[in-house]
Amino acid sequence: MPRQENLRWIASLGLIGVWMVGLVLGSAPGLFGPGGAFSGAGMLFAQAAESTSFQPKFPLGIPGDLWSILVPAENPMTSAKVELGRKLYFDKRLSADNTVACSTCHDAAFAFADEERVAVGIKHQKGARNSPTVLNAVFNEFQFWDGRAPTLEEQAKQPLTNPVEMGMPSHDAVVSKLKGVPEYVKAFKDVFGGEITIDRAVQAIAAFERTLVAGDSSFDRFVAGDQTALSDSAKRGWNLFQNKGRCISCHAFNSTSPFFTDNKFHNIGVAMNAKSFDALARKAATLSGGSLSTLAHDEAYAELGRFLVSRQPKDIGAFKTPGLRNVALTPPYLHDGSQATLADVVDFYDKGGEPNPNLDGGIVKLNLTAEEKGDLVEFMKALTSDDIAREAKSRVAEQKK
């Protein structure tokens, strides 16, 4: 069964309703990059040190059974594979000029996103889309803003050869470069029982990314029964989120999938910022082929959104609903980074998005008061994992030294 169908099947049957409440008491040394390791209840980690097992505990609010189902049979988790993936994730040698790693745009200092409006690759080239967080990406039905990758493995593979991102001339060139590093030759032999290939490299990176699971927020403690975990403002915001604010229509939340996304694609008018829908439609009509990864960072085509993948006119200007966990730590916002703060995002939705012929029918003027807007922001802040916030603060301080 394809992964996206599997997710829909799980959600429709409501099989995964039990939330894991085990607390992580520590993490494997160095697991999250040079010079630092997470500890606490917000992140997933491997308890066992041996390479043949990976026994995670899950932070409050994260459905462990769902995580287990989403680990592909062809890429089983082992501690050694996760460690190899961690090294690759932080290694700038995977880029053409040794300046960009996966962690450049998905940095632990910024909750595994970055602070740039759009992604910045080799030679300081700017892409056309904001870098989303990798936290909880294992639960995404599709990867990237336009959903062009169905798996974390495919997501890890594309930036390597994108000329605006990591800029390697080919995947064979990536493999050749890795084969020149004796440490990697040995590690791939130990983990996979064979030589370095591009598929094995992205399997390792994806395995590491599957450990980037964050929960244990104030909201999770509130849902678990602690009525004092949320401020009065955040409680009002949660009520607005579900009702007058209409947020939950797309940022869906339930015990089966508690990630505040419907994993669908919507046109909210962001692509119309200083652009014309007619111009976008004309580009859509003339588009024929081209690498999806390259087109996604080409200013001439990036705003077509999901249309680049589906080639369906209804998807012009539509982008994936992002999850909202840790959203307070990942400004700027929306797929083009056009909104600097959460307050700006609320204002954008309050006015009913940006009118265009493909505007999603659920986007309407909300007529929120100033107090209601503030309450919505406070609620979204309550979705922050305590450990992620501490780690981000620590890494930012370290980078400023």
Give per-residue pLDDT as tens, 44-62: 544 333 445 687 789 999 9
Task: Provide the pLDDT for residue 30.
Answer: 35
Could you tell me the two tokens for 132?
């989303």
Candidates 83, 141, 165, 209; catalytic one: 165
Position 104 in a domain? no
Q: What is the CATH number of the domain that holds 257?
A: 1.10.760.10
Averaged pLDDT, 129-154: 97
* Domain of 227, in residue numbers: 218-390
Q: Which of 38, 36, 57 is nearest to 46 (CA)?
A: 57
Position 39 in a domain? no
Measured CA to CA, the distance from residue 229 to residue 216 in angstroms comes to 11
Residue carrying structure tokens 């500890």: 39
Q: How does residue 302 score in pLDDT terms, banded at 50, 70 and 90? A: confident
Helix 198-209, helix 182-192: angle, nearest 10: 80
Residue 57 parent element (H or E): strand 56-57
Burial 201-223 (b: 16+ CB within 10 A, else e): bbbbbbbbbbbbbbbbbbbbbbb
For the chain, give percent helix, strand, coil, nearest 5. Answer: 45, 5, 50
The answer to whether residue 11 scores a pLDDT higher than 50 is no
Task: Provide the pLDDT for residue 297.
Answer: 80
Q: Is 333 exposed, middle or buried (0-12, 13-18, 19+ CB in 10 A)?
A: buried
Task: Provide the pLDDT for residue 4.
Answer: 53
The answer to whether residue 18 scores a pLDDT higher than 70 is no
pTM (two decimals) = 0.87
The answer to whether residue 178 scores a pLDDT higher than 60 is yes
Residue-wise pLDDT tens digits, 242-299: 999 999 999 999 988 999 999 999 999 987 765 676 777 777 777 766 678 887 887 7
Measured CA to CA, the distance from residue 201 to residue 181 in angstroms comes to 13
Residue-wise pLDDT tens digits, 374-395: 999 999 999 999 999 999 888 8
Task: Provide the pLDDT for residue 367.
Answer: 98
Position 263 in a domain? yes
Averaged pLDDT, 206-214: 96
The answer to whether residue 23 scores a pLDDT higher than 90 is no
Q: How does residue 10 score in pLDDT terms, banded at 50, 70 and 90? A: very low
Task: Provide the pLDDT for residue 397.
Answer: 82
**Beta carbons of 42 and 25 less than 8 angstroms apart:** no
Position 212 in a domain? no
Position 285 in a domain? yes
User: Mean pLDDT over all residues of the chain?
Assistant: 86
Q: How does residue 217 score in pLDDT terms, banded at 50, 70 and 90? A: very high
165 is catalytic: yes
Phi, psi (rounded to 5 degrees) for 118? -130, 165
Measured CA to CA, the distance from residue 278 to residue 296 in angstroms comes to 19
Q: Is 325 exposed, middle or buried (0-12, 13-18, 19+ CB in 10 A)?
A: buried
Position 73 in a domain? no
Position 253 in a domain? yes
Position 328 in a domain? yes
Measured CA to CA, the distance from residue 393 to residue 171 in angstroms comes to 35
Q: Which range is least confidently modeled, 25-29, 30-34, 389-393?
A: 25-29
Number of domains in the chain: 1
**Close Cβ partners of 27 (under 8 Å, ≥ 6 residues apart):** 37, 38, 39, 43, 45
**Beta carbons of 379 and 237 less than 8 angstroms apart:** yes
Task: Provide the pLDDT for residue 32.
Answer: 44
Q: Which range is least confidently modeled, 7-16, 147-156, 243-252?
A: 7-16
Measured CA to CA, the distance from residue 395 to residue 383 in angstroms comes to 20
| 339 DSSP β-pair partners | 333
Averaged pLDDT, 367-374: 98
**Beta carbons of 146 and 319 less than 8 angstroms apart:** yes
